[in-house]
Amino acid sequence: MASKGVILSEMRPTGRLHLGHQSVLNNWVRLQEEYNCYFGVADWHALTTGWEEAKDIRANTIEMVADWLANGLDPEKCALFRQSAVQEHAELHLLLSMVTPLSWLERVPTYKDQIQKLGELGKDINSYGFLGYPLLMAADILVYKANAVPVGEDQTPHVELTREVARRFNHLFKPVFPEPQAIINKDVAVLPGVDGAKMSKSYHNYISMGAGTEEIKKHVNLMVTDPARIRKTDPGNPDVCVVHKFHRIYNSSILEGIETECRAGQIGCVACKKQLTGALEENLGPIRERREQVLAKKGYVEEILQAGEAKARQATVKTLEEVRAAIFG
């Protein structure tokens, strides 16, 4: 029997997730059915941009993994782990650093972008770890010999770097690593924040995954609609309306009706928002409940992570044996 392909992806532990992350998680949930999946908490990566939030990483990890489980990741089907608990990631990172030219890291687009962005925030980050963060990501991927990596568009240069590093290692020593493919998630950009900008924690325009009924209502009320529409009978333009973008995802069965009625001035924005609130409640209610159940069981998430880490180690220990043999004979 041909063995199943290996998938690896990770997220930085930012704490509670929001609806912008749902398409990423839905993708992971689909992949867990068909592949041998490893999904990690990139807690070392969280340190590459500074120490300020380090003390929150433990709590944020638990919150984030609770959201993973609430959205349908099944620990029986995939391994959920913390990067920092699987030491082979670090050993491989070190060994790969010996075959990676500095120029490859300096030309990664996020390197200069991020230095500039963080500089504007008054953060002067120029550590060795920050420069090396794409290589740490390469080690995350290669240590599982992953065939494919689901990521957002902004991460594709890192997957490209991973392929180059794999090729170079295979050429210098022995062919140990497959060259992984990126699986690009294009849906991420579809859902805006309530103000129409990108949904992001730092913009405070997000609906969190475990949002309660009141929180959902409040955020839907804040959503920006067609600004040219003054009276209910004015024809509206759903293409410029945030509410419509949410209906597209959470209420697709009645989307066409809403579009027609909006353009004809037959539905008011208040009624339209009410329909969306209902759809969001229907979708998020069960997720909220599961999230609460998961967090109510003390130590449950920790247990799942430890089991996942044991599974992860079975793969990584084997890879490192091969890597050491390839280098040292």
- Judged by the rule CB under 6 A, the positions of this chain that interact with ligand SF4 are 225-226, 229, 236, 238, 241, 243-244, 258, 262, 267, 269, 272-273
| Sole window of 6-14, 64-72, 201-209, 214-222 interacting with ligand TRP (rule: CB under 6 A) | 6-14
> What is the rounded CA–CA span in Å between residue 198 and residue 98?
38
Among ligand TRP, ligand SF4, none, partner that 105 touches (CB below 5 to 8 angstroms by kind): none
DSSP-derived secondary structure letter, 175: -
The distance of Cα 262 from the centroid of its chain, to the nearest Å, equals 34
Which residue among 64, 96, 135, 137 contacts ligand TRP (CB under 6 A)? 137
Instruction: Indicate whether 259 belongs to the interface with ligand TRP (CB under 6 A).
Output: no
β-partners of residue 151 are 184
Q: Which two tokens mark 197?
A: 């900008």
Q: Which two tokens mark 119?
A: 């500089």
> If residue 8 lies in a helix (H) or strand (E), which one and from where to where?
strand 6-11
CB of 258 to ligand SF4, least distance (A): 6
Whichever of 132 and 236 has its CB closer to ligand SF4, that residue is 236
Among ligand TRP, ligand SF4, none, partner that 8 touches (CB below 5 to 8 angstroms by kind): ligand TRP
Instruction: Indicate whether 165 belongs to the interface with ligand TRP (CB under 6 A).
Output: no
Indicate the pairing of strand 181-185 with strand 36-41.
unpaired
Which residue among 12, 93, 163, 244 contacts ligand TRP (CB under 6 A)? 12
Residue type, 95: L
| Sole window of 2-10, 19-27, 94-102, 225-233 interacting with ligand TRP (rule: CB under 6 A) | 2-10
| Sole window of 136-144, 183-191, 251-259, 266-274 interacting with ligand TRP (rule: CB under 6 A) | 136-144
Contacts with ligand TRP, 204-223, as mask; x by CB under 6 A:
--------------------
- The residues, ordered by sequence, that sit 6+ positions from 126 with a Cβ below 8 Å of its Cβ are 115
Whichever of 56 and 281 has its CB closer to ligand SF4, that residue is 281
Instruction: Indicate whether 141 belongs to the interface with ligand TRP (CB under 6 A).
Output: yes
CB-CB contact of 198 with 231 (8 Å) = no
Instruction: Indicate whether 9 belongs to the interface with ligand TRP (CB under 6 A).
Output: yes
> What is the rounded CA–CA span in Å between residue 64 and residue 240?
32
Whichever of 84 and 155 has its CB closer to ligand TRP, that residue is 155
The distance of Cα 91 from the centroid of its chain, to the nearest Å, equals 25
CB-CB contact of 294 with 70 (8 Å) = yes
The rounded radius of gyration (Å) of the Cα atoms in the chain is: 22
Judged by CB under 6 A, the chain residues 39 through 68 that form the site for ligand TRP are 42, 45
CA distance readout (Å), 264 to 139, 227, 242, 268, 276: 55, 16, 18, 10, 19
Among ligand SF4, ligand TRP, none, partner that 162 touches (CB below 5 to 8 angstroms by kind): none
CB of 137 to ligand TRP, least distance (A): 4
Among ligand TRP, ligand SF4, none, partner that 236 touches (CB below 5 to 8 angstroms by kind): ligand SF4
Instruction: Indicate whether 88 belongs to the interface with ligand TRP (CB under 6 A).
Output: no
Mind giving me the DSSP string for 264-297?
TT-S-HHHHHHHHHHHHHHHHHHHHHHHHHHHHS
Instruction: State the residues that interact with ligand TRP by CB under 6 A.
Output: 8-10, 12, 42, 45, 137, 140-141, 149, 151, 155
